[in-house]
Structure 1
Amino acid sequence: MDKVKREDVELLLSTREALYALFHRALGCEPNDALIQVLTGEESRVLLSVVPESEAGRGAFRDYLTELDRLAERYAVSPSEVLSGMKDDYTALFFGPGRLEAPPSESYYRDSEGSFLSKHTLSVRREYARWGFGADEHAVEPDDTLVYELDFMRALAKKSLASWLDGELDTELHDAQVRFVNEHLLRWLGLYAGDMRACSRPGVYQQLVQMLWMFVNWDIRMLQSLPLDFDECASCAA
């Protein structure tokens, strides 16, 4: 990242925090009217517009916007019916009953036997503990479930932004995020996105996961290109 201004770094850091929060909310919570309004609103579209860099990425983004437009049009006509359908999709895709077409679990994709609890779960748990992050102890999902991994990255992204605004560069925090994305999210999200793409319930959740995969790839490139010297960044701000 050459000749970057400090306000540009602030914008990037705030954008990634907002996007991790958006994906965590959209993929980790039962849908409601407020979520539909957030997804179809202009702010989330603008946030996600930073992600596509290739022609294929721009095509995926256009597909996502088309799906949002369909959702907004149907919701304007029959909000209760659309919300009920989204709830059905959410339950079927993330909880069941029955075998999930695309289990949102790191261990499932990385363990040779398709386990939902493995050494990867323990690795994620150790990383959470290192940063004082606790997954919901009352939940039945393992720590390496998508919702927790996204919430963990949201929490670290928030810390990064606060660190930058305080004028101190926390390189340990930065390195932890690079490590978690490389060693965890990038190791399984592509496979998960592929299964979601082939699932029998096409719609906004399918498109959201494709956008998440693109975002995580954008995020690691962005993290690795951030200036790690505050004085150098300040000298480029003129």
Structure 2
Amino acid sequence: MDEHTIEQLGMRLANRAYLQRIFHIVFGAEPSAEELATLGSPETVAQFHALAEVFRQDDLGICMESIASSAAEVLADAEKLCASLGDRADDAAYVEALKSDFTRLFLVPGEAYVHPWESPYIGKEVMLFQESTLDVRHRYAEYGFKAVEFGHFPEDHVSMMMDFLAHLSTRAFDAFGDGRDDEVRRILLSQQDFAREHLLNWLPAFRDKVHEKDTQGVYRRLADALVAFLMVDECFVEQALAEIG
């Protein structure tokens, strides 16, 4: 790889870890003023902007043809949404209203409730800790990952799984900086398989449910952004693996 390619690849490895943590925060707990300030920070807005620019420049090539137009629009919308949330971080009434939305959608079973974990979407019954959950647990153990939410969330909760991906992305970035390409390749392949087996298999259905239940629209737009990000990231991993060789 030439120097420019190395620089660009390193930047993207860092950027994806940042956004994976953002999605971990967004779907992991009721929002606070501090969270909205983080979402509206120049760093977060810039990350979504940079990701949307990938489409405008066709940086990911042919693998993006089927999703480029819609994903670019969704990610540009996420950039605008984050900026607007940051502007309202000091609005206590707005923060409380958003907390109510989160609770209604993801915490308290009821008419508007949406399951934020994998098992109900892939099993025959809406239940926790199916075979897929054991596989998630095994993958966490393989990389020595232990989230702070263990014991509070199901292990296949979307927030915990995004935290796991961010943990791996940080390790991949560190390995890339040290020139350990074999380790980068191993981690990227693990992430790719994990995303296909445990995220992209159910998050589109989760997104559709959020669209149906979220009358205010903030979490609907964030769910759109999450699915778009994961689809883009799958293409990035394919490109990165090809460049690393």
What amino acid is aligned across from residue 127 of structure 1 in structure 2?
R
- Whether the 8 Å CA contact 1:67–1:203 is kept in 2: the answer is no
- Whether the 8 Å CA contact 1:28–1:147 is kept in 2: the answer is yes
- Whether the 8 Å CA contact 1:64–1:207 is kept in 2: the answer is yes
Q: Distance in 2 between matches of 1:148 and 1:44?
A: 20
- Whether the 8 Å CA contact 1:64–1:204 is kept in 2: the answer is no
TM-score (norm 2): 0.83
Aligned-pair RMSD on alpha carbons? Answer: 2.5
Please list the CA deviations of residues 186-216 of structure 1 after superposition, one character each: whole Å capped at 9, or x if unmatched.
Answer: 1111111111111143332221111010000
Match of 1:203 in 2: 217
What amino acid is aligned across from residue 238 of structure 2 in structure 1?
Q
Q: CA deviation at 1:223?
A: 0.6
Aligned pairs for 1:127-138 within 5 A? 127-136=139-148
What amino acid is aligned across from residue 221 of structure 1 in structure 2?
C
Q: CA deviation at 1:63?
A: 3.8
1:40 and 2:40 correspond: yes
1:26 and 2:40 correspond: no
Q: Give the direction of change, closer, same or farther, for the CA distance of 1:22–1:93 in structure 2 (3 Å limit).
A: same
Determine helix, strand or coil for the equivalent of 2:199.
Answer: helix
Q: CA deviation at 1:158?
A: 0.5
Q: Give the direction of change, closer, same or farther, for the CA distance of 1:217–1:50 in structure 2 (3 Å limit).
A: farther
Structure 2 residue aligned with 1:183, among 190, 197, 201?
197
- Whether the 8 Å CA contact 2:49–2:79 is kept in 1: the answer is no
Aligned length: 229
What amino acid is aligned across from residue 119 of structure 2 in structure 1?
S
Q: Distance in 1 between matches of 2:75 and 2:242?
A: 31
Q: Distance in 1 between matches of 2:176 and 2:96?
A: 42
Q: CA deviation at 1:99?
A: 5.6
Q: CA deviation at 1:83?
A: 1.1
% same residue: 26
Please list the CA deviations of residues 116-174 of structure 1 after superposition, one character each: whole Å capped at 9, or x if unmatched.
Answer: 22111111001111111124475332110111101110100010000001111112222
Q: Give the direction of change, closer, same or farther, for the CA distance of 1:152–1:81 in structure 2 (3 Å limit).
A: same
Q: Distance in 1 between matches of 2:186 and 2:84?
A: 43
Determine helix, strand or coil for the equivalent of 1:28.
Answer: coil
- Whether the 8 Å CA contact 2:107–2:113 is kept in 1: the answer is no
Q: Distance in 1 between matches of 2:152 and 2:37?
A: 29
What amino acid is aligned across from residue 188 of structure 2 in structure 1?
H
Q: Distance in 2 between matches of 1:19 and 1:66?
A: 15
- Whether the 8 Å CA contact 1:51–1:214 is kept in 2: the answer is no
Q: Distance in 2 between matches of 1:194 and 1:97?
A: 17
Structure 1 residue aligned with 2:154, among 125, 142, 145?
142
1:194 and 2:198 correspond: no
Q: Give the direction of change, closer, same or farther, for the CA distance of 1:192–1:186 in structure 2 (3 Å limit).
A: same
Please list the CA deviations of residues 72-117 of structure 1 after superposition, one character each: whole Å capped at 9, or x if unmatched.
Answer: 55x27x7110111111112112211436532111111111222222
Which has the larger displacement, 79-88 or 127-136?
127-136
1:85 and 2:97 correspond: yes
Q: Which runs of 5+ in 1 are unaligned?
A: 233-238
Q: Distance in 2 between matches of 1:149 and 1:209?
A: 15
Match of 2:58 in 1: none
Q: Give the direction of change, closer, same or farther, for the CA distance of 1:3–1:226 in structure 2 (3 Å limit).
A: farther
Q: Distance in 2 between matches of 1:125 and 1:100?
A: 29
Which has the larger displacement, 45-54 or 100-109?
45-54
Match of 2:165 in 1: 153
Q: Which runs of 5+ in 2 are unaligned?
A: 56-67
- Whether the 8 Å CA contact 1:17–1:154 is kept in 2: the answer is yes
Q: Give the direction of change, closer, same or farther, for the CA distance of 1:141–1:165 in structure 2 (3 Å limit).
A: same
